[in-house]
Structure 1
């Protein structure tokens, strides 16, 4: 009896941990997708903290608002289609067969809107709203190793207010507040494989986690500066502070996790007497802060666990991540601007991995364009194919181990309308 309870307790701990890693994607994500502009998407966000070709730049660097002399509005959306594959699965030492699956991902829509209002030649302010992340990962209800998969549906919205100040012809500074709303649904239950492996002591369909539309609010801030060497060359530096985030559902279940701070350096250089510009970014994401996940007031009566007090802390050390992006823009004529970019994006996960949150180093291949409707308005289109690596995964729920190979790719498409007033 004691061995059975120990098995069940360990099983719950592992599956809750996997589920919560997925919830972290709602607000920043190891599998990080940028969704603040179609313009940036078309160049793999290379130079996005300083290019300032429309109002969406305020999401990356509030100081760049000082580069505008007219009121600017940008609004649009991104479509994010994740393509997740789990293959070559060995469950319970290979004793129980598990079929490959490639239909775990889904499509999400991430809207955005940004408004910059110059007050005079020194001050500007702006407001914006955009989605940091939105995705859905769902394994079929009859998946043999269901306790490792399940349902994860998450989204977040960032509401921002920022201001900028131009010190002189070269230096500008900015700061802003971020009000972050997040919502997530996470469900895990045992599969037929667990029932077979335990001789029926843990039946298939036993609920392990059932967090339905947990939501919450948190406050962060951002700082930035822009240095203009001349009209064709400038640099931007930005810092985003991300708070600890707590989400709660209507049953009183809480999940608390720390979020990473972000530093970004960008450069933009238009080659003199040509129609071409090159731009680049280096971004650091402080995922090392993701040291522990805290659970409080879990809905224990629905779980196969007894004797717990509703509190559970799970250490989990992620590693800091980096983005390296480079891109080019070609100003074809007064109507058309063409752009392309490449990003190399490093994984946040380190030693521990999961099939419910497949993560790896990624490559971004991006292209896009701007069409100028008239001198005051334009439409942007951006496309990115995000290519992940095959990753060997090992998870173990108290003697019922799972080994697999995961791969997570994605297709991102963005459309945006911008206008100056």
Structure 2
């Protein structure tokens, strides 16, 4: 068995596992505005307190009587940990005579791996321009999806960990139409710019047991995947708003998200970034002059991803015949439910809070590269109005994940590389700041 044969096989197997990492559920961002962040995005498809509502429901632009511009950012700091787990490194021993091969594994403890989460700065910009009493148009730039983990170079299970970064930027142009006092509709096009960065390593212990003499072993370590790719795709969104009266209204929106086919400088640098469709229903109810309650229910079509099939080269590892690798995903449709409240303290200050239960899309199959679990959002924020035309928004969220324990392997046919008993946890802190102005 040669080093070239081993690495060729490793690349094929690694690509199967790497696709799981890139497409793993849980890389949806809710970061379109600091205003929404402060209420856990409860009611965000219909509240329309600034132009950022266009990112959730284009029909809500019909609620604006004058132009509004909003500019802000959200900062996301994730704390991702591998609390426990065992990595089984391939150990392949061959003998010359009689011909025989033993496929074994070495075990390494990978527990206590901290600090693999990434921090990200997510800007957003929104503009809503009423044309007349019925028509309005708007432009937005923001992100719907993004995630990232980065393991140290000496991380034992580098074929499973390594570097994983998936980001997208959405540039939207929308239009809305006010049908009557109760109904508004809207639609728009989304130009999506996707970016993927994927790095994976592979290491194995190769041992030769000669007919005479002592066994000789050496460790092979190579970078087998190093891909940086970008690409564009076009999606669309539609929405509707129903106003029962000035204090009670409902919003419904649907967003079609395409697959971004990203390419890099090298012809082999290709990453498909399939983005799920989303639907959202929101309600807003101003119960008194001072207090309003609001809520949202969002559905995300993660079940669009099933599995990836690959055929290995013949003579895999120099010892196994050609085989088909079926890397299953088995994602489920997911989403979130959020509730919130807004307190209108006075003309200068508005206070808000919210809670979101964010459901993980992963089911039985999980990955340490993008740990996913059900998440709890605890949010609070405020708006300060320097005058009737301007507002400054601040939002804060503590996102608390849950411990999940699982095993991970690249193929049931291979005893190693694999991970057993991995327990991961992902928490995050999100902070947002935003400036809005009407004119």
Same fold (TM over 0.5): yes
Q: Which residue of 2 aligns with 1:372?
A: 385
Taking the TM superposition and a 5 Å limit, the aligned residue runs for 1:273-312 are 274-293=289-308
Structure 2: gaps (5+ residues)? 89-104, 209-214, 319-323
Q: Which residue in 1 is equivalent to 2:336? A: 323
Alpha carbons of 1:293 and 1:48: their partners in 2 closer, same or farther (altered >3 Å)? farther
- In structure 2, relative to structure 1, the CA distance for the partners of 1:331 and 1:293 (3 Å cut) is farther
Where does residue 283 of structure 2 map in the other structure? 267
Structure 1 segment 49-198 matched on structure 2, within 5 A: 49-92=45-88, 95-191=107-203, 194-195=204-205
Per-residue Cα deviation, 1:134-181 (whole angstroms, up to 9, x for no partner): 443100001111111101123211000000000000000000000000
Equivalent pair of 2:46/2:250 in contact (CA under 8 Å): yes
* Alignment correspondent of 2:244: 229
**Once the 2 structures are TM-superposed, how far is the Cα of residue 200 of structure 1 from its aligned partner?**
9.0
Asked if structure 1 preserves the Cα contact closer than 8 Å seen for 2:17 and 2:327, the reply is no
TM-score scaled by length of structure 2: 0.85
Contact 2:196–2:271 under 8 Å retained in 1: no
1:99 deviates by: 4.2
Q: Which residue is 2:102 aligned to?
A: none
Is the 1:257–1:293 Cα contact (8 Å) retained in structure 2?
A: no
Change (3 A) 1:112 1:169: same
Distance across 1 between alignment mates of 2:153 and 2:362: 26
* Corresponding residue pairs, total: 407
Q: How far apart, in 2, do the equivalents of 1:333 and 1:50 lie?
A: 22
Distance 1:165 1:415, change over 3 A: same
TM score, norm. by length of structure 1: 0.89
DSSP-derived class of the 1:269 partner? strand
Q: 2:363 aligns with which of 350, 354, 371?
A: 350
1: CA distance, partners of 2:142 / 2:65:
23
Worse-superposed segment, 109-118 or 140-149: 140-149
Contact 2:252 2:279 in 1 (8 A): yes
Cα deviation digits, residues 341-396 of structure 1 (max 9, x gap): 00001111122111001001111110000000111001000011111111112112
Which has more radius of gyration? 2
Q: Can you list the C-alpha shifts for 1:189-241, whole angstroms capped at 9, x where unaligned?
A: 024xx438999988443122111x20000110000000000000000000000
**Structure 2 CA distance for aligned equivalents of residues 216 and 289 of structure 1:** 20
Q: Which moved more, 1:54-63 or 1:237-246?
A: 237-246
Contact 1:292–1:315 (Cα < 8 Å) also in 2:
yes
CA distance in 2, matches of 1:289, 1:385: 29
CA distance in 2, matches of 1:369, 1:294: 49
User: Retained in 2: the 8 A contact 1:216–1:248?
Assistant: yes
SS for the counterpart of 2:299 is: strand
1:22-68 CA distances to partner (integer Å, 9 max, x unpaired)? Answer: 4347xxx5232211100000000000000000000000000000000
How far the C-alpha of 1:21 sits from its partner, in A, is 3.7
- Flag the 1:315–1:90 CA change in 2: closer, same or farther, 3 A: closer
C-alpha distance in structure 2 between counterparts of 1:122 and 1:83, whole Å: 46
Distance 1:206 1:327, change over 3 A: same
Following TM superposition, by how much is the alpha carbon of 1:185 offset from its aligned partner in structure 2, in angstroms?
A: 1.1
How far apart are residue 95 of structure 1 and its match? 3.1
User: CA–CA distance in 2 between the matches of 1:293 and 1:161?
Assistant: 34
- Give distance in 1, aligned partners of 2:284 and 2:255: 21
CA offsets, 1:274-303, max 9 Å, x none?
3000000000001011224589xxxx9xxx
Alpha-carbon distance in structure 2 between the residues aligned to 1:373 and 1:202: 69
Seen in structure 2, the aligned counterparts of structure 1 residues 381 and 196 have a Cα distance that, compared at 3 Å, is farther
Correspondent of 1:402 among 407, 412, 419: 419
Counterpart CA distance in 2 for 1:197 and 1:136 is: 36
* Higher share in strand: 2
Q: In structure 1, what is the Cα distance between the partners aligned to 2:370 and 2:206?
A: 25
Please, which moves more after superposition, 80-89 or 50-59? 80-89
